[in-house]
Chains A and B, each alone.
Chain A
Amino acid sequence: MFELSQDHEDFRKVVRDFAEREVEPHVAQWDRDSHFPTDLVPKMGDLGLFGLVVPEEFGGSLDPDEGGAFTSLCVAIEELGRVDQSIGITLSAGVGLGINPILSYGTDEQKQQWLPDLVAGRALAGFGLTEPDAGSDAGATRTKAVRDGDEWVVDGAKAFITNSGTDITSVVTVTARTGTDDKGRPEISAIMIPSGTPGFTVEEPYHKLGWHISDTHGLSFAGARVPATNLLGEQGSGFKQFLKTLDDGRIAISALALGLIERMLAESTAYASSRTAFGKPIAVNQGISFQLADLAVMAETSHVLTYKAAWLKDEHDAGRRSVAEVKKAAAIAKLYTSEAAVSATRIATQVFGGNGFMEEYPVARFYRDAKILEIGEGTSEVQRMVIARHLGLPTA
């Protein structure tokens, strides 16, 4: 069975220390100002956070003999997410959506061109799948790319793209229709659009309920031309590629949710132990202590589900587990932890009473940040679809 190694725990200590010293003191202000801390990204790079799953030749630390690399990434996301969810998703998306597609499907030249800067935290990359009218139904993609000589000409729009508009964003990989297959279905391919490409516009940042620190934009493409060599992976395989990207992303979201739940448990326990009402700490009341017990169960369950999924993913990468096992475990972990995270922030803000509604207390920020966990990287409904598909049910 799986368990975290001493290396993982040693690494956890360092990331926690980093998060508490470099992120925590600034995070309330950044959140208030919707400020993306560009300077923090290279520091995260120095720590090796972006290179955990990347081979050494591109600046990463992946050692195929050691194993457990994806689990390390989840530890880092959990610990950053404990301090701030936006910083956690910046890492999660930076690796899962920015680096991974290039690492998995890029040519040697593409990898050499983009990965070293991304791994060092000198640059960030985005992945544009979602469109204003196409989310989980990725087959409904409208953005199209037409081949014109040695170039692709891209037209269309993408929505909610993380890390796509920072000062250091170097490239965004987008899915686009590049034709139709034999059965008349749209052929989807992935194409890399460097920042600053004429015709590629990064829209104004969204006004979001939460994740204020995270960089999220809509993107539009009007005759954006890139070299034919910017095709990522094989033409027509964009659909397959992004499905795999999403599986990994789901486990990462679970790690983010886990960090949040643990923080809610810690905050609520401390507050309920010190806040007095009627002459006693409010934690003496079962109405409170039972809710804290529920939080503890959520934290423990989320830990087990997240790291089981991460372990399966590492085992799959080592050729010992099937992709179906990873898919199912990822969907289960994502569904449970994200729904538990929303419940956990509801409990925590309730334990904090009136103060829970005040932005001076971090539980309020986490309350706003939690909801997206049930939506991003596949909604709860999509996770239930995926899980149900693994139950061998009769089909309609």
Chain B
Amino acid sequence: MNIVVCVKYVPDAQSDRSFNEADNTTDREGVEGLLSELDEYAVEEALKIAEAGEGEVTVVTVGPEQAVNAVKKALQMGAHKAVHVSDEAIHGSDAAATSLILAEAVKKAAGDGTPDLVITGMSSTDGVMGVVPAMLAERLGLPQVTYASELTLHGDKVSIRRDGDAASETIESTLPALVSVTDQINEPRYPSFKGIMAAKKKPVETWSLADLGVDAGRVGLDAAWTKVTSFAKRPPREQGQLVTDEGDGGTKLAEFLSAQKFL
């Protein structure tokens, strides 16, 4: 089983995230970054499948120089090899362009074919659009089974459970396929010390757009279908309302909650 996992390097949500003043894109250089937590579930699921049988896990990311840290973390967790697509022309790419680059990278990583399984997270933790998995499946011509909270392989088929508000669906697809997974599917492992040391010896390929045969004019900020036209920092949180209890504290509290439509 040949599995490709697509992951993203995102700014650490714990740090002070911001946008670039010049072009309104996410600032990916001035902040600490990490492997998107939602993608850890995708890596973990791929590793579980590979460990249960024969399999090789390749991790692919698209992003600036430091984005290689995202695939390094996946290698430390146990993935076998990694691809980092990096090219200055990629800066500012939207989801459509990202899916184009990923599609070509996935094909090349699979030896110009199609892997048996492509796994992604359900969305990134920074852009949070959640559309790249669907776009990528479309570009690869693969069936897409998204938001999997459980994944089972049997023969040349994959079935998943998708938990909705009203019902849980079990969906089956033939392989090869693309599956996006939720944060309910597993408990991602921490890299072990051995994993960290082993990752140093694992191959990481760095590809440019030219290596993938992608026209630079089709990606980047200028080719983006949507743009952030302005941004404003959220105002600092205001101090809460203090209610002095003069025997009617309960009533005042109920009135406040009612006014906020909590009741």
B252 at the binding interface (Cβ < 8 Å): no
Contact B190 A10 (CB under 8 A): no
Interface residues of A (CB under 8 A from B): 7, 10-11, 14, 17-18, 46-49, 51-52, 61, 63, 66, 72
Measured between alpha carbons, how far is A67 from B196 in the docked complex, in Å?
15
> C-beta contact mask, B183-197 vs A, less than 8 Å → 1, else 0?
000000111111111
CB neighbours (8 Å) of A72 from chain B are 193
Contact A14 B196 (CB under 8 A): yes
The chain B residue with its CB closest to the CB of A76 is: B193
The chain A residue with its CB closest to the CB of B189 is: A46
The chain B residue with its CB closest to the CB of A75 is: B193
Contact A46 B197 (CB under 8 A): no
Q: Taking the nearest CB of chain A, how far is it from the CB of B103, in angstroms?
A: 31
Choose one: B189, B194, B196; the contact of A10 (CB below 8 Å): B196
Contact B193 A48 (CB under 8 A): yes
Q: Can you offer 26 A-B residue contacts whose CB atoms are under 8 A?
A: A7-B196, A7-B197, A10-B196, A11-B196, A14-B76, A14-B190, A14-B196, A17-B190, A18-B190, A46-B189, A46-B190, A46-B192, A47-B192, A47-B193, A48-B192, A48-B193, A48-B194, A48-B195, A49-B193, A51-B193, A52-B193, A61-B192, A61-B197, A63-B197, A66-B197, A72-B193
CB neighbours (8 Å) of B48 from chain A are none
Q: Taking the nearest CB of chain B, how far is it from the CB of A368, in angstroms?
A: 28
Measured between alpha carbons, how far is A46 from B191 in the docked complex, in Å?
9
Measured between alpha carbons, how far is A7 from B189 in the docked complex, in Å?
19
Choose one: B76, B194, B200; the contact of A61 (CB below 8 Å): B194
CB neighbours (8 Å) of A48 from chain B are 192-195
CB neighbours (8 Å) of A11 from chain B are 193, 196
Measured between alpha carbons, how far is A18 from B196 in the docked complex, in Å?
14
| 10 extra interface residue pairs, beta carbon distance < 8 Å, beyond A49-B193, A63-B197 | A7-B197, A7-B200, A10-B76, A46-B189, A46-B190, A47-B192, A48-B194, A61-B193, A66-B197, A72-B193
Measured between alpha carbons, how far is A52 from B191 in the docked complex, in Å?
14
Q: Taking the nearest CB of chain A, how far is it from the CB of B90, in angstroms?
A: 26
Residues B202-224 near A (CB distance < 8 A): none
CB neighbours (8 Å) of B189 from chain A are 46
CB neighbours (8 Å) of B193 from chain A are 11, 47-49, 51-52, 61, 72
Interface residues of B (CB under 8 A from A): 76, 189-197, 200
The chain A residue with its CB closest to the CB of B199 is: A10
Q: Taking the nearest CB of chain B, how far is it from the CB of A310, in angstroms?
A: 16
The chain B residue with its CB closest to the CB of A46 is: B192
In the complex, which of the residues B190, B191, B193, B200 has the most CB atoms of chain A within 10 Å of its own CB atom? B193
Contact A14 B191 (CB under 8 A): yes
The chain A residue with its CB closest to the CB of B195 is: A48
The chain B residue with its CB closest to the CB of A17 is: B190
Q: Taking the nearest CB of chain A, how far is it from the CB of B212, in angstroms?
A: 29
Measured between alpha carbons, how far is A18 from B191 in the docked complex, in Å?
10
Q: Taking the nearest CB of chain B, how far is it from the CB of A159, in angstroms?
A: 33
Measured between alpha carbons, how far is A47 from B192 in the docked complex, in Å?
4
Q: Taking the nearest CB of chain A, how far is it from the CB of B204, in angstroms?
A: 14
CB neighbours (8 Å) of B196 from chain A are 7, 10-11, 14
Measured between alpha carbons, how far is A166 from B110 in the docked complex, in Å?
49
Q: Taking the nearest CB of chain B, how far is it from the CB of A51, in angstroms?
A: 7
Q: Taking the nearest CB of chain A, how far is it from the CB of B175, in angstroms?
A: 31
Q: Taking the nearest CB of chain B, how far is it from the CB of A19, in angstroms?
A: 10
CB neighbours (8 Å) of A61 from chain B are 192-194, 197
Q: Taking the nearest CB of chain A, how far is it from the CB of B35, in angstroms?
A: 11
Measured between alpha carbons, how far is A18 from B197 in the docked complex, in Å?
18
Q: Taking the nearest CB of chain A, how far is it from the CB of B40, in angstroms?
A: 11
Measured between alpha carbons, how far is A66 from B197 in the docked complex, in Å?
10
Measured between alpha carbons, how far is A275 from B192 in the docked complex, in Å?
39
Measured between alpha carbons, how far is A18 from B77 in the docked complex, in Å?
13
Contact A47 B190 (CB under 8 A): yes
CB neighbours (8 Å) of B194 from chain A are 48, 61
Q: Taking the nearest CB of chain B, how far is it from the CB of A66, in angstroms?
A: 7
Measured between alpha carbons, how far is A10 from B193 in the docked complex, in Å?
9
Measured between alpha carbons, how far is A69 from B196 in the docked complex, in Å?
13
Q: Taking the nearest CB of chain B, how far is it from the CB of A133, in angstroms?
A: 40
Measured between alpha carbons, how far is A17 from B14 in the docked complex, in Å?
12
The chain B residue with its CB closest to the CB of A44 is: B190
Measured between alpha carbons, how far is A72 from B193 in the docked complex, in Å?
9
CB neighbours (8 Å) of A63 from chain B are 197
Measured between alpha carbons, how far is A10 from B194 in the docked complex, in Å?
12
Q: Taking the nearest CB of chain B, how far is it from the CB of A299, in angstroms?
A: 20
The chain B residue with its CB closest to the CB of A52 is: B193
Q: Taking the nearest CB of chain B, how far is it from the CB of A219, in angstroms?
A: 32
Q: Taking the nearest CB of chain A, how far is it from the CB of B10, in angstroms?
A: 15
CB neighbours (8 Å) of B190 from chain A are 14, 17-18, 46-47
Measured between alpha carbons, how far is A11 from B190 in the docked complex, in Å?
11
Measured between alpha carbons, how far is A11 from B197 in the docked complex, in Å?
9
Ranked nearest first, the 10 interchain pairs of A and B with the lowest CB-CB distance are A48-B193, A48-B192, A61-B194, A61-B193, A14-B191, A18-B190, A10-B196, A47-B192, A48-B194, A47-B190
Q: Taking the nearest CB of chain A, how far is it from the CB of B9, in angstroms?
A: 14
Measured between alpha carbons, how far is A159 from B194 in the docked complex, in Å?
36
CB neighbours (8 Å) of A51 from chain B are 193
Measured between alpha carbons, how far is A372 from B40 in the docked complex, in Å?
39
Measured between alpha carbons, how far is A51 from B193 in the docked complex, in Å?
9
Measured between alpha carbons, how far is A48 from B190 in the docked complex, in Å?
10
Measured between alpha carbons, how far is A61 from B189 in the docked complex, in Å?
18
In the complex, which of the residues A48, A52, A63, A66 has the most CB atoms of chain B within 10 Å of its own CB atom? A48
Measured between alpha carbons, how far is A47 from B196 in the docked complex, in Å?
10
Measured between alpha carbons, how far is A288 from B76 in the docked complex, in Å?
42
Q: Taking the nearest CB of chain B, how far is it from the CB of A20, in angstroms?
A: 9
Measured between alpha carbons, how far is A51 from B195 in the docked complex, in Å?
13
CB neighbours (8 Å) of B76 from chain A are 10, 14
Measured between alpha carbons, how far is A10 from B196 in the docked complex, in Å?
7
In the complex, which of the residues B190, B191, B195, B197 has the most CB atoms of chain A within 10 Å of its own CB atom? B190
Measured between alpha carbons, how far is A60 from B51 in the docked complex, in Å?
20
The chain A residue with its CB closest to the CB of B198 is: A61
